[in-house]
Amino acid sequence: MKKALAIAALLLAVQVLGWSQAKKPTIMVVPADAFCERNGYVQQVEAMGSVTSSPDYSRAMKDNADIRTLVSAMADFMAKNDFPIQSLEQELKRIQTESAEMAMMTGKTGSEFSETPLERLRRTAKADIILDLDYEIHRVGPRRQVSFNLQAIDAYSSKIISGNTGVSSDSNAPLTSLLEECVLSFKDNFLSGLQHYFDDLFANGREISITILRYDSCPFEFDEEVSIGGESVDFDEWIEEWFQDNTVSGRFTTATSSANMLRFNQVRIPLYAQNRKGRDVAIDADDYVKPLVKLIRKQLNVPVGATPRGLGDVWITVGDK
């Protein structure tokens, strides 16, 4: 009996040690889209003839001392509570420096470095959780009051993990003190919600979406039979079997299944996978589908491409790249 209890205690200790050493997903605090739009910190982006607006974080952090102070204070608060933080300012500087260096690169024949808009978009921060911070300062003479809205968003699934609002008292205290006052009002619930979410990630994997699209050059439709290893199977069923074998606990949802499109949501993938050298490395949706892309290409001898649309969404094209 004592021996059994000792073994159980040892196993529990090993498990606790493993969880304590596990790498937590990283967090980045950013100005909310609503804040950027309200204050004119937006930039126009043209893609395939369509112009869209996106937040201009660089200008917001450069021109607005208040948002820079609040973002830094919120990041410091999270770091003090043992949540890994990725600095927005440092990441923006890295991307700016990298863009400048790439613009200066030329080959021996004078050719310039080629980069598509999608590749440029991928050179962004890979934080797991985005803390969207929106605020307004209400001034009455020398006194001021801060009201803010904070949303924790899964960067992979775009789902809101938690949402919190806070209002400070009227005071002439420093802005960081007013923010701390707001945060302390819901600190325990907020941190508990994040920790619960992290625990779920480690236990059940992170959630991504995958879409498989058919070019008209593809010799088969997705609801037709194909030959795999000398056996005739429906292509869509073969793909679903792959997901059953390669997701955490076989968890995924088939959202669309037609002749030209397969759409899978709530695809649970592990946080880490082993690379060629046997080391555990963090993976995103693009990393996860690479074995599937190679498998389709090898088994069916058709061109297959993969286009990431963020950390947690990827399009696989069959019949062309």
pLDDT above 60: residue 11: no
Gyration radius of the chain's alpha carbons: 24
Amino acid identity at 22: A
264: closest CA among 280, 278, 276, 250?
250
Q: Rounded to an integer, what distance in angstroms lies between the CA atom of residue 158 and that of residue 73?
A: 24
Q: Residue 135's pLDDT is what?
A: 83
Q: What is the separation of C-alpha 78 from the centre of its chain, rounded to a whole number of angstroms?
A: 18
Amino acid identity at 310: G
Pick from 47-51, 144-148, 228-232 the range whose average pLDDT is largest: 228-232
Could you read off the pLDDT of 109-129 as tens digits, one per residue?
Answer: 555 555 544 445 444 556 788
292 pLDDT band, cuts 50/70/90, is very high
pLDDT above 60: residue 228: yes
Q: Residue 105's pLDDT is what?
A: 56
27 pLDDT band, cuts 50/70/90, is confident
Q: Residue 121's pLDDT is what?
A: 44
DSSP code per residue over 91-128: HHHHHHHHHHHHHH-B-TTSPBPP--HHHHHHSS---S
Q: Residue 48's pLDDT is what?
A: 57
pLDDT above 50: residue 18: no
Q: Residue 119's pLDDT is what?
A: 47
DSSP code per residue over 71-84: HHHHHHHHHHTT--
Identify which has the larger pLDDT, 1 or 25: 25
Q: Residue 199's pLDDT is what?
A: 86
Q: Rounded to an integer, what distance in angstroms lies between the CA atom of residue 318 and that of residue 222?
A: 10
Question: Residue 264 to residues 88, 194, 270: CA-CA distances in angstroms?
Answer: 31, 26, 16
Query: Running DSSP on this structure, what letter comes out for residue 296?
Result: H
Pick from 130-139, 188-197, 238-247 the range whose average pLDDT is largest: 238-247
Angle in degrees, 0-180, between the axes of helices 285-300 and 235-246, rounded to the nearest 10: 140
What's the whole-number mean pLDDT along residues 284-288?
Answer: 90
Question: Residue 241 to residues 109, 234, 236, 245, 252: CA-CA distances in angstroms?
Answer: 49, 11, 9, 6, 11
Q: Residue 217's pLDDT is what?
A: 93
Q: What is the pTM of this model?
A: 0.72
Segment among 66-80, 113-127, 199-213, 228-242 with least mean pLDDT: 113-127
Query: Running DSSP on this structure, what letter comes out for residue 23?
Result: P
Pick from 102-106, 269-273, 286-290 the range whose average pLDDT is largest: 286-290
Identify which has the larger pLDDT, 290 or 5: 290
Q: Residue 302's pLDDT is what?
A: 95
Identify which has the larger pLDDT, 312 or 18: 312
| DSSP H or E stretch at residue 194 | helix 187-204
pLDDT above 80: residue 79: yes
* Backbone φ and ψ of 206, nearest 5°: -90, 160
Pick from 24-28, 104-108, 250-254, 310-314 the range whose average pLDDT is largest: 250-254
Segment among 6-15, 63-72, 134-143, 171-180 with least mean pLDDT: 6-15
Q: Rounded to an integer, what distance in angstroms lies between the CA atom of residue 246 and that of residue 2?
A: 40
Q: Parallel, antiparallel, or unpaired for β 253-257 and 261-269?
A: antiparallel
32: closest CA among 73, 60, 65?
60
Q: Residue 275's pLDDT is what?
A: 79
